[in-house]
Amino acid sequence: MLYSLKSLGFLSDNHITRWTIQIGTALQTILLSLGLADRINFLTKSLRENLRDLSHAKIKIEESEKRFREIFQGSDEVILMMNEDFEIINANRSLSKHLGYRLDDLRNKKITEILYTGRDQKSDYNVMYVNDKLTDLKMTGSAINFRTELSQKYVKEPKEMVCRIQYIDFEETREVLMTLSPEYEDTIIQLIDSEKIELSMNNYLRNAELVSQKITSQLAKYLTNIEQTEVRSSVREIIINAVEHGNLNISFDEKSKALMEGNYLEFLQKRQEDPRYRHKKVKIEYSFSSEYVAYRITDEGRGFDHKKHMEKSLDAMNEAHVQHGRGILMTKSVFDRIEYNEKGNQVSLIKFLNRD
The radius of gyration of the chain's CA atoms, rounded to the nearest angstrom, is 38
- Are 291 and 153 members of one domain? no
264 part of a folded domain: yes
- Same domain, yes or no: 176 and 192: no
- Which residues of the chain fall short of a pLDDT of 50? 2-3, 5-6, 11, 317-324
The reported pLDDT for the residue numbered 256 is 87
Which pLDDT tens digit goes with each residue over 143-165?
999 888 899 988 878 888 889 99
Q: How high is the pLDDT of residue 5?
A: 46
- Antiparallel, parallel or unpaired: β 337-340 and 292-298: unpaired
The enclosing domain of 277 has a CATH number of 3.30.565.10
Q: Does some domain include residue 58?
A: no
| pLDDT, position 27 | 58
Taking only the tens place, the pLDDT of each residue in 187-243 is 566 778 889 999 999 999 888 988 998 899 888 888 887 888 889 889 999 999 999
CATH number of 117's domain: 3.30.450.20
Domain count within the chain: 3
Number of helices and strands (H, E) in the chain?
A: 12, 10
In this structure, the answer to whether residues 88 and 43 fall within a common structural domain is: no
Q: What is the pLDDT of residues 102-115, one digit of tens each?
A: 999 999 999 999 99
Q: What DSSP assignment string belongs to 101-112?
A: --HHHHTT-BGG
In degrees rounded to 5, what are phi and psi of residue 118? Answer: -85, -155
Pair 41, 78 in one domain: no
Model pTM greater than 0.85?
Answer: no
